[in-house]
Structure 1
Amino acid sequence: MKKPGNEFGMSSKTHDVESEELSSSEEDESEIERELAEVTFEDLQKAKSNGSLTVFKKPDQEKKGGRANKNRPTEVSCKKPVSRFREVVQVPKKVVRDPRFESLCGNLDVEGFRKRYDFLFKNNLPAEKEELKKQLKKSNDPKVIDQLKERISWIEKQTKFESTKQTDAAILAEHKKKEREAAKQGKRPFYLKKSEIRKQRLTEKYNKLKASGKLESFIEKRRRKNAAKDHRYMPYRRSANSEQQS
């Protein structure tokens, strides 16, 4: 007769052997799945067409860029994420050009530009100023009146600035002409500073006002303007009531 203890021992041993075989088979299946996951789709198709289901794992090696055949498309890994923004249509890049610093546009002729657009400061802006003054007298809307005054002030500044530039340009041109004649005689050229140009401009203005008889009125107007500026910064005298309260 067989002892019951031996039967339980044999059954436990067989159970351990079966569990080890199952675990080894599961490991083999997982290993096969890992190998098949790394096999390319092209190799699987070749194995099926040949009738052999055995696919050998290729040794791990770094994939080099390029194509095996020039007629094949380049293989790209599906593990790399595709960028969200792709350049589907190549748009030509906009190139911003500044004509002041472009050799293609030529050199700026300041005198020629001033002569060609001189009609704006001599005819158009003065005519617009007179029209705006007429509208200012007829208008009763405060907003419209403020807009008209701002536009008139802007026109006056532009015309005054342009006249100053023209005067400075004339002074500089006359000085250059004299210096060219002096250079022909062997003298060293003298270049005018901005302060010298301003002095000559004020001298010319003074001579014109004196010749026209408007010098006294101009000086009186300038004196009142300077007095108003000084009056703003002068301290006020305290009244007697305020001194007694303090």
Structure 2
Amino acid sequence: MEQPRRTLAKSVNTKFEDPESSSSSEEDDEEEEEEIEQQLADVTFGDLQKALSNGSQAVCPNPKEEKKGRRANKNRPMEVSSKKPVSRFREVIQAPKKVVRDPRFESLCGTLNVDGFRKRYDFLFSKELPAEKEELKKQVKKSKDPEVIEELKKRISWIDKQLKSESAKRTEAAILAAHKKKEREAAKQGKQPFFIKKSEIRKQRLIEKYKNLKESGKLESFVEQRRKKNATKDHRYLPYRRPDHPE
């Protein structure tokens, strides 16, 4: 006896689409594609590579994120939300920062040429300071105020120190230049150069000083002043006699 065949009923959901709704959905899809293309046009190449490598970074920016407002001009003040409390140390006026440069350590200022600098400003030590010293001496003679006289004497003392220091520097520079010239000539002949020490420069400077004093006839007075000065220094270290000590 043949069993009746069992038929499985399948539920088939049939959808009837309206041609007008299908056309509107296609237009929406096209608009979405155009928006995506515009968003991708603003994405950098580095972000695209990161997104393709691991997929952790979103390529398209999130439309929900609020864009930070930018100033039309950098000199205008920033707009701050009134909901947030203002900091006590808030910078009210955004003034441009001043960049201070030290010409001694800046490569933009070039290197220092000591010889050229000394030649350009030689008039200060040869004319200006000696003339100022003579004028100050005249003012000391005319003035009767002790405080003014004291200030004038301090200025004269400072000028003397500057002239003395510049004279010593010139002598040392001349000794060093003569030594370099001598060593260059020796190096041309195949000899090893010798670099002079600062102590040797000071020694030669003293020799030049004594030579100049001897030529001008002031050597004896200078030696006598130096002897008295050294005797005064040595006298401080001598033991004193006690008052109760018998003679």
Could you tell me the TM-score, scaled by structure 2's length? 0.63
Report the residue type matching 1:213 in the other structure: G
Q: CA deviation at 1:224?
A: 1.2
Match of 1:161 among 162, 165, 173: 165
Q: CA deviation at 1:209?
A: 1.8
Alignment map for 1:105-144 (pairs within 5 Å)? 105-144=109-148
The equivalent of 2:196 in structure 1 is 192
The equivalent of 1:218 in structure 2 is 222
Report the residue type matching 1:157 in the other structure: K
The equivalent of 1:43 in structure 2 is none
| 1:188-245 deviation line (CA, Å, top 9, x unaligned) | 1111111010011011112222222222121111111111222233333345xx447x
| 1:58-109 deviation line (CA, Å, top 9, x unaligned) | xxxxxxxx86165797xx895x644233345433222110011111111111
> Structure 1 residues 68 and 89 mapped into 2: Cα distance closer, same or farther (>3 Å)?
farther
What is the CA–CA distance in structure 2 between the aligned matches of 1:130 and 1:204, rounded to whole Å?
27
The equivalent of 1:173 in structure 2 is 177
> Structure 1 residues 121 and 180 mapped into 2: Cα distance closer, same or farther (>3 Å)?
same
Where 1:216 maps in the other structure, the secondary structure is helix
Report the residue type matching 2:225 in the other structure: K
What is the CA–CA distance in structure 2 between the aligned matches of 1:72 and 1:151, rounded to whole Å?
62
Q: Is 1:68 equivalent to 2:71 in the alignment?
A: no
> Structure 1 residues 134 and 103 mapped into 2: Cα distance closer, same or farther (>3 Å)?
same
| 1:173-201 deviation line (CA, Å, top 9, x unaligned) | 11111111111111111111110100110
Could you tell me the TM-score, scaled by structure 1's length? 0.64
Alignment RMSD (CA, Å): 2.6
Structure of higher CA gyration radius: 1
Q: Is 1:86 equivalent to 2:86 in the alignment?
A: no
User: Aligned pairs, how many?
Assistant: 175
> Structure 1 residues 72 and 197 mapped into 2: Cα distance closer, same or farther (>3 Å)?
closer
What is the CA–CA distance in structure 1 between the aligned matches of 2:182 and 2:154, rounded to whole Å?
43
Percent identical: 73
> Structure 1 residues 72 and 117 mapped into 2: Cα distance closer, same or farther (>3 Å)?
closer
The equivalent of 1:48 in structure 2 is none
Q: Which runs of 4+ in 1 moved over 6 A?
A: none
Report the residue type matching 1:197 in the other structure: I
Q: CA deviation at 1:111?
A: 0.5
Report the residue type matching 2:172 in the other structure: D
Q: Choose between structure 1 and 2: higher helix proportion.
A: 1
The equivalent of 2:27 in structure 1 is none
> Structure 1 residues 67 and 235 mapped into 2: Cα distance closer, same or farther (>3 Å)?
farther
> Structure 1 residues 88 and 238 mapped into 2: Cα distance closer, same or farther (>3 Å)?
closer
